[in-house]
Structures are given as structure tokens and as C-alpha cells.
Structure 1
Amino acid sequence: MTQIRERTVLFADLRGSTGLFETLGNAEATSLVTQTVGLIAQAVDECRGRLVKTLGDGLMAVFESPNDGVLSAIRMHEMLERVVARGRQQGASPSLRALRMQVALARGEVVEMNGDCFGDAVNVAARLLNHAGDNETLITTEVLAGLPTAKKLRFRSLDLIAIRGRAEPVHVHVLDQAIQGDVAATQFGEVQHAVEPDGIRLVWLDLDRVFDIDNMPIILGRSVQATYCITDARVSRSHARIDWHAGSFSITDLSYNGTFVRFGSSGDVVSLKRGSCTLHGNGVIGLGSPPVDATSPIVSFEVLHFADTEPHSFGHTRSRG
């Protein structure tokens, strides 16, 4: 029987499971991934949702209310964190300790047929996963509108993001949390933000653009719908995302091959694998490979204070974006 109903659609996806197969072998890794997905699926039942299907290392579920869907997402993250924490205590393999999860939710009319679900909300939620970083939960404005006020305050707007296969961009919000393991702070000392920056300059070949905080977020990727399009086959369609929050810029890796940040001209390289770090000063961003090979896609960046600084010269003509 086919029914059309208003539903909140949730997709969750484990990241890092490939490393388990490499270190544990197919049989043991398959068992572990299946058990982990089964565990986080319990959060669907606990929050009055319906598990539509499991997807290898992920799942799809639907909920009548946005609040139930968001509660389920929060519960899933808590469950996975317990699995990872237990693995650390028991000396589990680094691959298990590196497991992360992305969650995305959208709301709209859903066609329910033969136990499966179809429709625009399903497509948006599925594709929104590509824009989620390490342990992030992304939701659309339609989901946010159905949340109680206290829970709405836990989300931060990422503004409009272009979703593959959709003509109109989608207003997206992220569940706010402290950036986990901010490598920039631990490796280079605490980043000071006494004077908030006004913008950020990005340069790749002849593509020289300046973005102010009203232009956030910036999606760096190969897709023509990306905010900053880098036409190199080594770059993912949505490779990384630059956000503005709490007085600073941060970059989040969205890719499978990683994003690499080097501060200054000779600093150490920070490797982001579905993780985030704060951007400060100037440096370079390697997309898919460390910024040591001059032929690889490397984006120069500079955090700008328009009032009292002059931008560095990267050897390219500057244009405002």
C-alpha cells in the first residue's frame, strides 16, 4: 500500500569502517560494523522512529516529529562514543578508535511504499551527508522549525548550501558542539582572537577571491555548485567546508582523501580526516594530498582584518568575490 505522509527523514553513516577491514580482516570487520550499526539503530526505536533499512555501514529511518528525529541523532552519537571509549579502555585497534559518524535530517512529504520511502526529503537527507563533517549532525530549516525553542538554540545556521541534483539551495543548520581535537590549538598554541577577522582570502591558480563572514559557509570542491570550485580530478565534489563561528574561521574535511592545512610558509602539516581545525594567519590547504607536491591542488588562504592589514601577495591578481 502506497501512502504519502509528512515525515522527518534521517540518514546516518559510519566513517572509518574501511580501516577496520584493512586491520581486522573481512569477517571480523563485517561483524563489528554490523553490530555497531545495530546498536545505533536502537536509538530509532527509543525515539519512536521506524528503521527503513540499513545501508552497509549506515542506516535510514523516518520519524513523525522533527524532535524525535533530532533526539535519535543525539542518542546515536552518544552510543557510538561509548563504543569508541570502551575500545580505548580495552586497547582496541586504532581503526576502531577512529570510528566516526555523520547524521543528516530533512523533512517533507514522503512516499511510503513496500516498506521503503521516496521523495525530495529522502534525497535531500541522503545528499546532505556529503556536507557533514566528523561527528556532525546537519538538519534543514524544515526540521529546525519543528523543534522546541530550547533545542533550536543548540543549532547554528550554515546558511544556504547547494545540494547535488537540486536546483534550489537548502538552508542547513549544524548541531553545535566544541570542535573535537582542534589540532591547530594543540600543535600551535592557543589561537588568540582579540580582534575578530573580517574575511578570508582563497587563491588557487588564477581563482583569487575574498569572502567576508556573510558569505559563510564556503564549500571547496570540484562540483560546479561549490562556492569555491576547484576543477581537479583529485578533489571531491564537496571536499571541505569553511565556517564562521564564535569569532573565528574553521575548516572541516568532508572528503575520503582528507584535507591538509599548513600554517605559515614552513609550519607542520595538520591532517584532517573528517575533522576540523581553526584557520588563523595564513598558509595553504592541500585537498586530497599534503601540500608538498606543487602539482597537487593547493589553495592558499589568508585570514583578513580589513581595517588594519594588507593582504599577502600570493603572486596572483586579486578580485573580490
Structure 2
Amino acid sequence: MTQIRERTVLFADLRGSTALFETLGNAEATSVVTHTVGVIAQAVDECNGQLIKTLGDGLMAVFEGPADGVKSAIRMHEMLERVVARGKQRGASPGLRGLKLQVALARGEVVEMGGDCFGDAVNVAARLIDHAGDNETLITAEVLNGLTAARKNRFRSLDRIAVRGRVEPVHVYVYDQPMQQGDAAATQFGEVVPAVEPDGIRLVWQDLDRVFDTASMPIVLGRSVQATYCITDGRVSRSHARIDWHAGTFSLTDLSYNGTFVRFGPLGEILSLKRGNCTLHGSGVIGLGGPPMDNDSPTVRFEVLHFSDTEPLSLTGPRSRG
């Protein structure tokens, strides 16, 4: 029987499973991934949702209302944290300890048919996963509108993001979580609290020289023509990395499978994000898919700007506002 209903659609994707297959072998890795997906799937039942299907290292579920969907997403992250924590206590492989979760939710009319669901909300939620960083939950404005004021305050706007296969951009929000202790490694070279908030950021790749102010955030760097900063190189993912403006700083989040690498200054150490994030400050280079010194990897130069300063000195070339 075919039915059309208003639903909140959730997609969850477990990242890092490839490393498990490399370290544990196919049989054991399959068992670990299947068990982990089964654990996070319990959050669907707990929050009155319906599990539509599992997708190898992910799942799809639907909920009557946005609140239950968001609550389920939060529970999934908590459950994965417990799985990883138990693994650390028992000396599990680095692959298991490195598992991360991305969750995306959208809301709209859904066609329910043969135990599956179809529709624009399904497509949007599935594609939003590409824009999520490690342990992030992304939602659309339609989901946000169905939340209580207290829950809404836990989300911050990423503004409108172009989603693959959709003409109109989607207004996306990210769930703000306190920094975990494990995040320190991703910010050890880059976490600097500036005395004065910056006004913009300049990005230079070949002849593509653009300046973005804080109102232009987020910036998606990627190969897709819909990316904010399009890098037409086959080694770059469609949505490779994202620059956000939050709490007075620019934050770079890796969204790719091959990683994003940052070097601050001409002689700084290389910071490997690998689905992590860091704060951008000063000037430096961003390697997409490989370290900046790797000639095979496209490299974007960046400079965090204070428009009250004189002309920036570290980058050359004409300036144009983005």
C-alpha cells in the first residue's frame, strides 16, 4: 500500500570502517561494523522511529516529528561514544577507536511504498551526509522549525548549501557540541584564540583569488560546480572541506575520504584533519587530498584578514570580493 505522509527522514553514516577492513580482515571487520550499526539503530526504536533499512555502514529511518528524529541522532552519537570507549578499555584496534558518525535529517512529504520511502526529503537527507564532518548532525530548516526553543538554541546556521541533484540550495543547521578531549589532536597546531575577531578570509588557488567576509559563510571547497569555492581537479572530492564562522573564528572541517591538510606559515608543521577540524588563523596553505608539499595535491593558500589592517602581505595577486 502506497501512502504519502509528512515525515522526518534520518540518514546515519559510520565513517572509518575502511580502516577496520585493512586491520581486522573482512570477516571480523564485517562483524564489528554490523554490530556497531545495530547498536546505533537501537536509538531509532527508543525515539519512536521506524528503521527503514541498514546500508552497510549506515542506516535510514523515519520519524513522525522532528523532535524524535533529533533526539535519536543525539542518542546515536552517545551510543557510538560508548562503543569506542569500551573498545579503548579492552585494547581494541585503532580502526575501531577511530570510528565516527555523521547524521543528517530533512523533513517533508514522503512516499511510503513496499517498506521503503521516497521523495525530496529522502534525497536531501541522503545528500547532506556529504557535507557533515566527524560526529556532526546536520538538519534542514524544516526540521529546526519543529523543535522547542531550547533545542533550537543548540543548533547554529550554516546558511544555504548547494546539495547535489537539487536546484535550490538548502538551509542547513549543525548541532553544536562541546569539544571532546579527543578533539585536541585536531587543533594542537591550529587552535589560537585571536585578540580581535577577523573580518574575512582570502583563498587563492591558481587564478581563483577570492575574499569572503564572515557573512558569506559557510564556504564549501570542492570539485562540484555548486561548491562555493570550486576547484576543478579530479583529485578533489565534490564537497571536500567546509569553512565555517563560529564563535569569532574561522573553522575548517574535512569532508573528504582522502583528507585535508593544513600548514600554518611557511615552516609550520602539517596538520592532518582526516574528517576532523581546526581553527584557521594567520596565513598558510590547505592541501586537498594530500599534504601541501605533495605536487599531486591541489593546494589552496589562505589568509585570515582584518580589514582595518593595511594590504595583506603574505599572498600575492588581485583581490576580488566573494
Instruction: State the TM bucket, normalised to the shorter chain.
Output: over 0.9
Q: Give, in whole Å, the separation in 2 of the partners of 1:88 and 1:251.
A: 28
SS where residue 41 of structure 1 aligns? helix
**After the TM superposition, which parts of structure 1 deviate over 2 Å for at least 4 consecutive aligned residues?**
182-188, 293-296, 312-318
Alpha carbons of 1:260 and 1:283: their partners in 2 closer, same or farther (altered >3 Å)?
same
Give the corresponding residue for 1:239: 240
Give the corresponding residue for 1:10: 10
Identity of aligned residues (%): 79
SS where residue 187 of structure 1 aligns? coil
Q: Give, in whole Å, the separation in 2 of the partners of 1:300 and 1:280.
A: 12
Matched, 1:169 2:169: yes
Matched, 1:191 2:204: no
Alpha-carbon contact 1:209-1:320 (below 8 Å) kept: yes
Taking the TM superposition and a 5 Å limit, the aligned residue runs for 1:71-150 are: 71-150=71-150
- Residue 177 of structure 1 aligns to which amino acid in structure 2? Q
- Residue 73 of structure 1 aligns to which amino acid in structure 2? A
Taking the TM superposition and a 5 Å limit, the aligned residue runs for 1:30-69 are: 30-69=30-69
Per the TM alignment, residue 176 of structure 1 is displaced from its structure 2 partner at its CA by 0.5
Per the TM alignment, residue 270 of structure 1 is displaced from its structure 2 partner at its CA by 0.4
TM-score of the superposition, structure 2-length normalised? 0.97
List per-residue Cα deviations over 1:263-314 (Å, max 9, x = no partner).
0011000001111000000000000000012452000000000012421343
List per-residue Cα deviations over 1:199-235 (Å, max 9, x = no partner).
0000000000000000000000000000000000000
Alpha-carbon contact 1:182-1:276 (below 8 Å) kept: no
Alpha carbons of 1:9 and 1:184: their partners in 2 closer, same or farther (altered >3 Å)?
closer
Q: How many residues get paired? A: 320
Give the corresponding residue for 1:223: 224
- Residue 207 of structure 1 aligns to which amino acid in structure 2? L
Alpha-carbon contact 1:179-1:277 (below 8 Å) kept: no
Matched, 1:305 2:306: yes
Q: Give, in whole Å, the separation in 1 of the partners of 2:153 and 2:219.
A: 23
TM-score of the superposition, structure 1-length normalised? 0.98
Per the TM alignment, residue 72 of structure 1 is displaced from its structure 2 partner at its CA by 0.1
Give the corresponding residue for 1:157: 157
- Residue 186 of structure 1 aligns to which amino acid in structure 2? Q
- Aligned Cα RMSD in Å? 1.1
Alpha carbons of 1:150 and 1:86: their partners in 2 closer, same or farther (altered >3 Å)?
same
Gaps of 5+ in 1: none
Q: Give, in whole Å, the separation in 2 of the partners of 1:26 and 1:293.
A: 32
- Residue 170 of structure 2 aligns to which amino acid in structure 1? V
Per the TM alignment, residue 93 of structure 1 is displaced from its structure 2 partner at its CA by 0.5
Alpha carbons of 1:44 and 1:184: their partners in 2 closer, same or farther (altered >3 Å)?
closer
Moved more, 174-183 or 259-268: 174-183
Alpha-carbon contact 2:186-2:272 (below 8 Å) kept: no
Taking the TM superposition and a 5 Å limit, the aligned residue runs for 1:196-211 are: 196-211=197-212
